[in-house]
């Protein structure tokens, strides 16, 4: 498995995929900012949901005008590039951006995700396929984002398979933000601790 971490190898590889580090980090920033809008009044899962919504939307906002397409096959929200024939999905992570340990998704991966990953395995000598088949068989890349306070890490990685509802093994990992590299001065990063609210509860009469 290749793990790309240095700028001189990350930048050209992303360009081959039709992506850029600056734009992917911009999507990470949008996701982190959205996560921080969650308050004590929101459901416990709101932070992760808001992060996923904003991260997915920002990927589309950035790349659809450049020829990528919105893809919802298998009910998996992603972007698809018909030129490079790859997909990218946004994925909240419990672990990401570590050169030693593989990323771990926050949510369990179902049968649809497994089919998407298995259908998109690398082909050494790709042949011309019709548009629908190209989309079905497109290698799936995941923008993994881990965010816990000011500790934010991210990577773009291509999984090999899904086993026991979790990604297992990767063809390639491209590290975007490693531990200690997140700019805490970013305007979307709030260093102020969340306000604790006392919510009155009364019995219905």
Q: Which domain holds residue 24?
A: 2-177
The answer to whether residues 124 and 71 touch, using CB atoms and an 8 Å cutoff, is no
Q: Is residue 189 part of a domain?
A: no
The answer to whether residues 104 and 93 touch, using CB atoms and an 8 Å cutoff, is yes
CA distance 90 to 75: 13
Q: Is residue 154 part of a domain?
A: yes
Q: Is residue 147 part of a domain?
A: yes
Cβ-based neighbour number of residue 9 at 10 Å: 14
Q: Is residue 149 part of a domain?
A: yes
- With residues binned 3-state (H G I as helix, E B as strand, rest as coil), the percentages for the chain, rounded to 5, are 30, 25, 40
Domain count, the chain: 1
Cβ-based neighbour number of residue 17 at 10 Å: 17
**Predicted TM-score (pTM) of this structure:** 0.80
Residue 13: what are its φ and ψ, rounded to 5°? Answer: -65, -45
Q: Is residue 21 part of a domain?
A: yes
Q: Is residue 155 part of a domain?
A: yes
Q: Is residue 204 part of a domain?
A: no
Closest CA to 28 of 3, 51, 60, 4: 51
Q: What is the pLDDT along the chain (205 residues), one digit of tens a residue?
A: 799 999 999 999 999 999 999 999 999 999 999 999 999 999 999 999 999 999 999 999 999 999 999 999 888 999 999 999 999 999 999 989 999 999 999 876 655 555 556 555 544 445 444 667 777 778 899 999 999 989 999 999 999 988 877 888 999 999 999 999 998 645 444 444 444 445 455 455 4
């Amino acid at each position: 498995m290749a793990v790309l971490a240095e700028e001189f190898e990350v930048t050209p590889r992303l360009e081959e995929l039709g992506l850029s580090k600056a734009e992917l980090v911009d999507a990470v920033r949008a996701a982190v900012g959205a996560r921080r809008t969650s308050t004590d009044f929101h459901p416990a899962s709101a932070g992760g949901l808001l992060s996923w919504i904003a991260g997915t939307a920002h990927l589309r906002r950035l790349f659809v005008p450049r020829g990528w397409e919105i893809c919802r096959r298998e009910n998996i929200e992603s972007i698809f590039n018909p030129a490079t024939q790859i997909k990218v999905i946004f994925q909240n992570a419990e672990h990401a951006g570590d050169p030693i340990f593989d990323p771990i998704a926050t949510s369990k991966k179902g049968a649809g995700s497994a089919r998407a990953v298995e259908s998109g395995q690398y082909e050494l000598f790709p042949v011309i396929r019709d548009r629908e088949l190209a989309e079905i068989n497109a290698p799936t890349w995941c923008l993994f984002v881990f965010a816990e306070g000011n500790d934010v890490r991210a990577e773009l990685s291509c999984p090999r398979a899904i086993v026991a509802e979790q990604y297992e093994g990767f063809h390639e990992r491209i590290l975007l933000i490693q531990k200690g590299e997140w700019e805490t001065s970013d305007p979307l990063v709030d260093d102020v601790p969340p306000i604790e609210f006392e919510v009155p509860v009364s019995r219905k009469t």
